[in-house]
Amino acid sequence: MSTSSALSNKQLWEQFAVLESDLDHLVNFLVEREVPYRLGVLASELTSHRYDQMTSMVEDTLSQGRIYRPAESYVVGETIVFPNLDNLTGEIVDIRAGHNPEHDPFSIIRVKTDEGTEREFAAELAQPHPLNSVSYLPDDEMSADSVYETYGENIRAALQSALEMSPQFVTVGEKWFERDLLADVSPGQVNIAEAVLDMVGGGPVATPELLAEIGLPEEISESLRLFSLEYALLQDSRFDEVGPAGQVVWYLRDLEPAEVRETPPLLRREPMPYNRQLLDDVMLSLEAQAGDEWSEPSVPAAAAVDEPSDEAVTVVLNYPHWRSGTLPLASHVASFFQTARIANRIRFSFVDDATGEEFPGWVVRRGRYVCGLRDWYAAKNTIVGSFVDLSRGDEAGQIRIGVRRIRSRRREWLRTVTVEGDNLLFEVTRVPVSCEFDDLAAVAVDNPDEIDALRQRFGRVSLESLLDRAFGGLAGLSLQRAVHALTLYGVLNLFRRLPPGPMLAALAVSPKYVSLGDNYWAYRGEE
């Protein structure tokens, strides 16, 4: 492909490849400014550099001779450039009259090319031809800015891959810099950062506060000092960068809350293979309704959400999350949190919708949960099945949270679960409630400790056996002996942490159960 045609050919930008010379240019760019930059800034700079470089090459090529136009006349001895033929250049050595009834009159020029061959071309051609008007230099519609606007995604992806593979560059958060120009941070200075964090209970502390205590050389720009300190802390396993998107905040890993460092026991699940093709559209709809973080498809543990949602979301509490003081990091919840960085743990603030009280929360992506709500659940008198509403806070890193309060606390008829020996006893009893709940998911649990102890004893029981226990207890609560799959899913999670998929597949293949439609099931023979 010629340099000139590349400027107007979208394939070059669609299939953009980063060259070693491009990385050298970015090193010089960073050295001159002594400022770490985000990927987008570097990609835009590289686009402008490559565009200017290509434009300069085209101009140099076109300056070597006269551009070939079929309508124009020429003289022997002229140097001609053919941009449409990969910038072929040659000298006119002969001109003669051309003969073709469809095109007369016209002439033929013979050109001796720089490659040593001779070729002939039409000249003084009266008929219109595209080469008479084509421009080989970029116009206003193909500026570097418009190229980046159109093909920026391809350029950023190629550049990120090249930067990650290059030993010259390092990254902190979303910014990049040249490794050899980092300020030196000694082990003693890192220890000072640890002491500062330890004094405040582990964190959180922003990088500028740590930098003020450490004191790197003032002749280095502040942005580079911050970046260098952040890079040094990231290399040390004692520190955890836990700030929400756009913020760099540090915590001592060993002083993070226990439920942040380790997944709460009730949220731990063992993968359970099943045939997903058994799930019909009605089942898939229920799976989406349940909002389970381990349903498929869901947000991968290492994935990040680039554009957090501004729309409020609602979570219906199941037993494992209610008991653990957590929320599921399901797809509809994950899209709400500012988790643009690929980090396992992110600290933010909950703000109580009713009182304005602010308290810490944590996103733990690998475990797919959000924690920090145990005391808040107790204060709000939530139950299994309660609605929890989330909305965007007034400041970055804040999430508003609330329940739907009932004006005066009242007693409702609810499914109630108690332990009787090695079994669960299901009843419908009057239970005091303070907030609204999902009728299908609500379960009153009188003694969670007994439920958890029974759960441990059921650790090796098969899904089919658990399904029989749960279904039998629930069917006895209904005159029709029908059980809704969402209710069954909630009760099964008293026994074991599992998403709806395996349960629905087990119902579909079992000869014991029959679908009544609309996600209701009954024992076969009791339709």
Query: Which of 287, 284, 318 has the alpha carbon at shortest distance from 451?
Result: 318
Q: What is the pLDDT of residue 142?
A: 63
The pair of structure tokens assigned to 492 is 């099964």
Query: What per-residue confidence (pLDDT) applies to 61?
Result: 65
- The fold adopted by the segment(s) 280-406 is At1g16640 B3 domain (2.40.330)
Give the pLDDT confidence score for residue 137 in this predicted structure. 59
Provide the 8-state DSSP code for 75: -
68 exposure class (CB count in 10 Å sphere: 0-12, 13-18, 19+)? buried
Q: Please state, in angstroms and rounded to a whole number, the distance separating the CA atoms of residues 283 and 376.
A: 33
Answer whether CATH 3.40.50.12780 is correct for domain 182-256. Answer: no
Q: State residue 485's pLDDT score.
A: 95
> What is the torsional sign of CA 147, 150, 155, 156?
positive
Fold adopted by 66-132 = SH3 type barrels. (2.30.30)
77-88 as b/e: b if 16+ CB within 10 A? eeebbbbbeebb
Query: What is the C-alpha to C-alpha distance for residues 213 and 301, in angstroms, rounded to an integer?
Result: 35
Ranges in the chain, pLDDT < 50 = 1-8, 139-140, 298-307, 339-340, 527
Cβ-count burial 176-201 (b if 16+ within 10 Å, e if not): bbbeebbbebeeebbeebbebbeeee
Q: What is the pTM of this model?
A: 0.74
pLDDT score, position 7: 40
Specify the pLDDT at position 105.
85
Domain ranges of the chain: 3-61+139-165, 66-132, 182-256, 280-406, 409-523
What are the pLDDT digits (tens) for 18-62?
Answer: 888 889 999 999 989 888 999 999 999 988 888 887 777 666 666
Q: Among all chains, which residue has been given the structure tokens 């399904």? A: 467
Task: Please state, in angstroms and rounded to a whole number, the distance separating the CA atoms of residues 119 and 111.
Answer: 5
SS (H, E, C) 208-267: HHHHHHHCCCCCCCHHHHHHHHHHHHHCCCCEEECCCCCCCEEEEHHHCCHHHHCCCHHH
User: What is the distance between the alpha carbons of residues 335 and 44, in angstroms, rounded to a whole number?
Assistant: 27
- The first and second tokens of residue 30, run together, are 């960073």
Looking at the chain, how many residues does it have?
527
